[in-house]
Amino acid sequence: MATERILITGASGTIGRMLRERLRAPGRTLRLLDQVAPPEGGPGEDVEPMAGSVTDTALLAEACRDVDAVLHLAALPVENTWERILAVNVDGTRALLEAARGAGVPRVVLASSNHAAGFHPATGTDLPAEAAPRPDTYYGFSKAATEALGSLYHSRYGMDVLCLRIGAYGDRPDDERGLSIWLSPEDGGRLFEACLSTPSPGFRVVWGVSANTRRLVSRAEGEAIGYHPRDDAEVFADQVRSFPPGTERDFLGGTFTTAPLGEPM
């Protein structure tokens, strides 16, 4: 069986650890990059831990060598100062795409976020995945920039690039908003697996949410790449915190829409 090598940046983060477990497969090597090298593989695990930063271009060139696909998760995950957001999330994504291009990596999956579109009203059930960016924070801006960079590298160099507007990821939804935009770990695994296996996707933007009854966003783009989510936040409906009264319930991005800009969360 031919070996496939997948680079995961930000491999020690919440989603990276989930993917390490779920993307394990015969004939597949997971190269795991984070600032501190992730733990070595256990029995039956084919992993290549690497340590370094997404701002280090020489390291990224090394990390992308002989890789079939990159899952780029490394980023500041919430609001931060403008300078830090630009350095890690925007410059880091450009550096990663540039390294992937240089190494001839044919496919890159970029972790975007619902916060790239956080100021879209929380109404309806089918906001398209390519709805115009309406960022709610500098963080949300950086995810819109991530998508735009992905589009640029696809158009210039023909790389397959899939951008995932990930919702509220976790074992269970925390609050009322999560009933609409929760992404479960099992569906997260299904989503990234679909991104790796769908043939010739070109450039795509897809919502990263589960099959939630109260969904606000379109499932069509996910279905088109073979992502068929199975979990529904509704089963937790009587256990979640309700929203306080205020504007936060009016927008997709929830509390991010009122968080002070540029203040680390």
* Residue numbers at the binding site for ligand 15L (CB under 6 A): 77-78, 113-115, 166, 168
- The rounded distance, in Å, linking the Cα atoms of 13 and 75 is 9
- In the complex, minimum distance from the CB of residue 192 to ligand 15L, in angstroms, rounded to a whole number: 16
Q: How far is CA 246 from the centre of its chain?
A: 28
Query: Is the CB of 65 or the CB of 84 nearer to ligand 15L?
Result: 84
Query: Is the CB of 67 or the CB of 145 nearer to ligand 15L?
Result: 145
Judge whether 212 and 232 are in contact, CB under 8 Å. Answer: yes
Query: Is the CB of 105 or the CB of 147 nearer to ligand 15L?
Result: 147
E-strand stretches of 78-191: 107-113, 160-166, 168-169, 182-183
- The rounded distance, in Å, linking the Cα atoms of 95 and 219 is 31
- In the complex, minimum distance from the CB of residue 113 to ligand 15L, in angstroms, rounded to a whole number: 3
- In the complex, minimum distance from the CB of residue 138 to ligand 15L, in angstroms, rounded to a whole number: 13
- In the complex, minimum distance from the CB of residue 252 to ligand 15L, in angstroms, rounded to a whole number: 8
Determine which one of 138, 139, 169, 227 is catalytic: 139
Instruction: From 48, 56, 165, 180, select the one nearest 112 (Cα to Cα).
Output: 165
CA dihedral 18, 22, 28, 32 (to 10 degrees): 10
Query: Is the CB of 29 or the CB of 146 nearer to ligand 15L?
Result: 146
Query: Is the CB of 78 or the CB of 225 nearer to ligand 15L?
Result: 78
With DSSP H G I counted as helix, E B as strand and the rest as coil, what are the percentages for the chain, rounded to 5?
A: 40, 20, 45
Structure tokens at 236: 């937790």
- In the complex, minimum distance from the CB of residue 78 to ligand 15L, in angstroms, rounded to a whole number: 5
Confirm whether 157 is a catalytic residue: no
101 burial type by CB count under 10 A (0-12 exposed, 13-18 middle, 19+ buried): middle
Strand 107-113: give its sheet, edge to edge: 47-51, 28-34, 4-9, 69-72, 107-113, 160-166, 203-208
Give the active site residues.
Answer: 139
